[in-house]
Amino acid sequence: MKTNGARFLESLGIPFELREYEVDPDDLSALTVAKKIGMPPEQVFKTLLVTGGPNIYRFAVIPGDAELDFKKLARAANLRKAEMAPLKDVQPLTGYIRGGVTLFGARKPYPVYIDETVILFDQISVSAGARGTQLILTPADYLHAAQALEVEVQTADLTKSTSQSGGPGPDSGTWETTKPEDQPK
- Domains annotated for the chain, with CATH where assigned, are 4-159 (3.90.960.10)
Q: What is the pTM of this model?
A: 0.85
With residue 112 as reference, give the H or E element that holds it.
strand 112-115
Going by the DSSP 8-state scheme, the letter that residue 172 receives in this structure is S
* Mean pLDDT in residue range 56-73: 98
Do you know the residue count of the chain? Answer: 185
Cα 88 from chain centroid? 20
For the cut 50, the answer to whether the pLDDT of residue 128 exceeds it is yes
Percent pLDDT > 70 in the chain is: 87
Burial 115-132 (b: 16+ CB within 10 A, else e): bebbeebeebbbbbbbbb
CA distances from 59 to 10, 80, 106 (A): 22, 16, 11
Beta strands (DSSP E) in 33-164 are 45-53, 56-63, 83-84, 112-115, 124-130, 133-137, 153-156
Which pLDDT band, with edges at 50, 70 and 90, does 72 fall under? Answer: very high
